[in-house]
Amino acid sequence: MWPFNRKGVSGFSSSSTAEEVTEGIDGSGLTAVVTGASSGIGSETARVLALRGVHVVMGVRNMSSGKSVREEIVNKIPSAKVDVMELDLSSMASVRKFASEFGSSNLPLNVLINNAGVMAIPFSLSKDGLELQFATNHIGHFLLTHLLMDKMKRTSRNTKTEGRIVNVSSEAHWITYREGICFDKINDQSRYQSYLAYGQSKIANILHANELSRRFKEENVNITANSLHPGIVATNLFRYQSIMNALTSAVAKFVMKDVHQGAATTCYLALHPQVKGVSGKYFSNSNLATPSSKASDEELAKKLWDFSLNTISA
Ligand code: NDP
């Protein structure tokens, strides 16, 4: 349990839980897609949104763990509306299939939570020939957002309700000191360092939200896009680093957030009225935060947008 507790201007702190930051909020009538909802921050996000009445569609690559998480949620919250759909973000074909099936489900889409991620894995390429962290953490979510966009715009128009896109990222000041940003060199194995590649893919999550937000404002669309750092949270994310994994189990309860706290900022951005109309911002501990200069770079955000669009169109 994360012990520090200084409240920010939102009234919440690093120790606030997802249930606390959404207390009293009625999410019934809303539909949300949560990626990577089969474990960690994603499964807690799905649970708390369902608790608040949101119809949750869990996008998961492992259907059997997705179904177990769904069962747990529904057992505890009998009124919960939760569906599980297959989604492998590292495969563009899988993302297209998910979007097409979701599109024909007749469900509206108010909230899209781009949460799934892998961290610091050994170098490998996705089915589409892209470095796997960049493919999973950024390109998969870029394509998913792109394909669900019409549905989100239609929902916000028809229901006169603000749509919200929430990208789960992480701060990456250190990466800009080491390597700079070079999205076009992601497949170069000789340059590959697993943590740098992770950091780069997470900066991409912030830049993606910023550029989405800029475009929504330009088009006068009633959808916001924000990104966040969930904190250092004890989850399966550290499974590829034996030292970090051991540390996670040993010291988690002293220095890391638990998943209830780790999902708080995501749920705050998805549902809280305090952030109505707030877009293109970065959050941490359910409060506004400042990302690295590279992550705020508007030109870089446009460059990444074009690069990503070319990649999904290739
Ligand atoms: P977990 O490993 O517990 O959860 C990650 C989720 O992403 C899992 O459900 C996993 O599925 C899913 N996932 C991984 N690859 C794919 C894929 N190709 N297609 C679909 N789903 C996939 O980690 P967290 O809950 O900690 O991570 C959630 C997010 O939070 C990530 O984006 C991460 O980068 C971010 N984050 C986490 C921090 C932390 O300290 N934990 C710190 C900063 C950011 P499966 O169960 O099948 O593996």
pLDDT in tens, the chain (314 residues): 555 678 999 999 999 999 999 999 999 999 999 999 999 999 999 999 999 999 999 999 999 999 999 999 999 999 999 999 999 999 999 999 999 999 999 999 999 999 999 998 999 999 999 999 999 999 999 999 999 999 999 999 999 999 999 999 987 655 554 555 677 788 888 888 888 889 999 999 999 999 999 999 999 999 999 999 999 998 888 776 666 666 666 666 678 899 999 999 999 999 999 999 999 999 999 999 999 888 999 999 999 999 999 999 98
Half-sphere exposure of 279 (CA within 13 A, CB side): 21
- Residue 240 designated active-site: no
Dist CA 139 CA 130 (whole Å)? 9
Q: What pLDDT, on a 0 to 100 scale, did the predictor assign at position 78?
A: 97
Quick check: CB of 108 below 6 Å from ligand 1? no
Q: What pLDDT, on a 0 to 100 scale, did the predictor assign at position 234?
A: 87
Quick check: CB of 114 below 6 Å from ligand 1? no
Which mutation among 119, 131, 203 tests ligand 1's pocket best, with the greatest number of atoms within 8 A of CB? 119
Closest-CA residue to 59 (of 111, 8, 125, 129): 111
Quick check: CB of 65 below 6 Å from ligand 1? yes
CA of 108 to the centre of ligand 1 (A): 25
Q: What pLDDT, on a 0 to 100 scale, did the predictor assign at position 187?
A: 87
For the chain, what percentages of helix, strand and coil (3-state, to nearest 5) are there? 50, 15, 35
Q: What pLDDT, on a 0 to 100 scale, did the predictor assign at position 177?
A: 46
**Helix (H) / strand (E) containing 224:** strand 223-229
CA of 31 to the centre of ligand 1 (A): 21
CA of 223 to the centre of ligand 1 (A): 25
Quick check: CB of 126 below 6 Å from ligand 1? no
For the chain, the domains span: 18-313
DSSP state letter for 295: G
CA-proximal residue: ligand 1, atom 34 (nearest): 117
Q: Is the pTM of this model over 0.85?
A: yes
CA of 116 to the centre of ligand 1 (A): 4
Which CATH superfamily, name and number, covers 18-313? NAD(P)-binding Rossmann-like Domain (3.40.50.720)
> Sheet containing 55-60: which strands, arranged edge to edge?
82-86, 55-60, 31-35, 111-114, 163-168, 223-229, 282-284, 287-289
